[in-house]
Amino acid sequence: MVEPVLRVQGLRKRFGGLAATDDVSLEVRPGELHALIGPNGAGKTTLIGQLTGEITPDAGQVVFCGEDITRLSVAARVKRGLARSFQIVQLLDDDTAEANVALAVQARAGHSFRFWRAAGRDAALLEPARALLEQVGLARHDTRVADLSHGERKLLELAMALAARPILLLLDEPMAGLGAAESLAMTETLRALKGSVAILLIEHDMEAVFALADRITVLVYGRAIATGTAEEIRANPAVQDAYLAEESSP
């Protein structure tokens, strides 16, 4: 059997009396697009936080490419190839889209203890940054983030994560708040990425999830209640009870 890219074992996190992550175990295989679905407040973002290192789990293990990374810092995990996008966009609002990605390229290129040469016109940073913006389909390179639309910021989030040249991408609701056309475009962008990088995709847009995912894990009240292919998940009665019924009856 192939070594999974990511293996999560018995992860637990409590916030006071609330079990936000309740004994979650999960595997992502190389090149797989693995969707993580679940109702609001199920603990999806909290799980991502523990995978990236922002949140320390109370118990359990996170193994990435065979290495136990449970105690590593956020930055150290990114260096190993674990990148994420944020559900609530986290960008440098005063800078242009291009400058944002250029900084992510710079972070990937090694240490930044370089104090003299101007970074703003450095082709070694700008050219990869522009290529990434093309790849995600963000046309307004020179626009400040503060002046970008919500949809454009979501694209920028994706470009920032890709700049790290990840082995595993953690995408936290990349389509939240997008219009129908934008969602379709994002689905196509993700489809184009499929295979070249393993993806753990959190998404409420079921159409996108069923169109893209190789496997799906369902999270409810912090517990992973089922994992399987799209058909298996659709047919799973526990999932229908807990989640799909309520989601598809607006």
Ligand X SMILES: Nc1ncnc2c1ncn2[C@@H]1O[C@H](COP(=O)(O)OP(=O)(O)OP(=O)(O)O)[C@@H](O)[C@H]1O
User: Could you say which of another protein, ligand X, Mg ion, none residue 225 binds, taking C-beta under 5 to 8 angstroms by partner kind?
Assistant: none
20 binds ligand X (CB under 6 A): yes
107 binds another protein (CB under 8 A): yes
Distance, in Å, from the CA atom of 80 to the CA atom of 75, rounded to the nearest integer, reads 9
84 binds another protein (CB under 8 A): yes
123 binds another protein (CB under 8 A): no
**Closest distance of CB 1 from another protein, Å:** 30
Residue closest to 132 by CA, chosen among 109, 100, 110: 100
**Closest distance of CB 41 from ligand X, Å:** 4
45 binds Mg ion (CB under 5 A): yes
Single out the residue of 2, 17, 40, 116 in contact with ligand X (rule: CB under 6 A): 40
First and final C-alpha spacing in the chain: 42
**Closest distance of CB 11 from another protein, Å:** 20
Single out the residue of 87, 187, 217, 236 in contact with Mg ion (rule: CB under 5 A): 87
- Judged by CB under 8 A, the number of residues near another protein is 38
Binding site for ligand X (CB under 6 A): 15, 18, 20, 38, 40-46, 87
> Footprint of another protein on this chain (CB under 8 A)?
52, 54, 73-76, 78-79, 83-84, 86, 90-95, 99, 102-104, 106-108, 112-120, 122, 160-161, 163-164
